[in-house]
């Protein structure tokens, strides 16, 4: 729940809407995902040290954080290099390599790294894979679930795009979908290989890498 609390405290609500209302949908999704993942993940052989008591693979966690950091650096650099293409003359969207303040960083680390991974990987990916496993081999079902959950992860960022700019360009829309789909694929693969905590740390590392890119670039 720290990510839900961070939304209430850090995200300014639209006029006339109480801050607590912003947390309603993600809180409901989080609860549903927690139950769905707890049901589906053990049946698929997926792991979590925190939720299932599995062994905590420290080396894999360090690798996951490093991969997430490198991913953040690379995608932020590409994002910055192509900003003139996707931003448009009237857009105020920041590139990943441009600092957006401690508030955005805190939301990325706490809400993105923890809450989004619980919802999208632990919940959505696991339950999709379990459903597909009734129709196809388990390896195929896991792969398809990784791809679909990454696509859903990207689509879930559409409201944030429209909150940032009411009239995004087509290029900005494509950019947002591509960045989040690629990162979602990486987080999903690490979830399958090393467990939920690896997905969380890779997501956190992504935001750290994006932040560091502003210094490097």
Query: Of 12-16, 77-81, 93-97, where does the model show the most confidence?
Result: 77-81
Q: How far apart are CA 179 and CA 126, in angstroms?
A: 22
For residues 169-176, average pLDDT? 90
Alpha-carbon span 15 to 61, nearest angstrom: 41
Largest CA distance in the chain: 51
Are 150 and 181 within 8 A, CB to CB? yes
Q: Which residue is it, tokens 């990510």?
A: 3
Q: What span, in angstroms and rounded, lies between the C-alpha atoms of 91 and 87? A: 6
- What is the average pLDDT score of the chain? 89
pLDDT digits (tens, 9 = 90+) for 190-208: 999 999 999 999 999 999 9
From the list 185, 160, 172, the residue with the least C-alpha distance to 108 is 160
The per-residue b/e assignment along 150-177, b for 16 or more CB within 10 angstroms, e otherwise, is bebbbebeeeebeeeeeebbeebeebbb
As a whole number of angstroms, the distance between CA 67 and CA 5 comes to 28
Q: What is the pTM of this model?
A: 0.92
Single out the residue of 122, 118, 121 nearest to residue 147, CA to CA.
121
CB contact burial 124-135 (16+ within 10 A = b; e otherwise): bbbbbbbebbee
- Please give the C-alpha separations between residue 57 and each of 66, 105, 106, in angstroms, as whole numbers: 14, 26, 26
> What tokens were used for 32?
């549903």
Q: What CA–CA distances, in Å, run from 114 to 34, 120, 181, 202, 213?
A: 12, 10, 18, 11, 22
Q: pLDDT digit string (tens) for 85-108? A: 888 765 678 888 887 777 788 888
Mean pLDDT, residues 119-137? 96
Convert the pLDDT of each residue in 51-63 to its tens digit.
Answer: 888 888 889 999 9
The model's confidence at residue 11, banded by pLDDT at 50, 70 and 90, is confident
- How far apart, in whole angstroms, are the C-alpha atoms of residue 78 and residue 18? 37
């Amino acid at each position: 729940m720290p990510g839900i609390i961070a939304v209430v405290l850090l995200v300014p609500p639209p006029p006339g809407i109480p801050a607590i209302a912003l947390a309603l949908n993600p809180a409901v999704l989080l609860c549903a995902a927690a139950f769905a993942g707890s049901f589906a993940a053990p049946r698929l052989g997926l792991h979590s040290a925190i939720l299932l008591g599995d062994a905590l693979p420290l080396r894999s966690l360090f690798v996951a954080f490093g991969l997430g950091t490198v991913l953040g650096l690379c995608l932020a650099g590409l994002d910055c290099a192509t900003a003139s293409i996707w931003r448009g003359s009237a857009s105020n969207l920041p590139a990943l390599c441009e600092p957006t303040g401690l508030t955005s960083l805190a939301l990325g680390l706490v809400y993105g790294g923890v809450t989004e991974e619980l919802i999208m990987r632990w919940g959505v990916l696991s339950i999709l894979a379990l459903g597909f496993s009734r129709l196809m081999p388990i390896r195929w079902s896991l792969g398809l679930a990784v791809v679909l959950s990454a696509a859903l992860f990207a689509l879930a960022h559409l409201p944030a795009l429209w909150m940032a700019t009411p009239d995004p360009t087509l290029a900005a829309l494509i950019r947002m979908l591509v960045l989040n789909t690629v990162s979602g694929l990486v987080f999903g693969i690490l979830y399958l290989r090393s467990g939920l905590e690896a997905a969380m740390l890779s997501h956190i590392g992504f935001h750290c890498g994006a932040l560091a890119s502003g210094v490097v670039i």
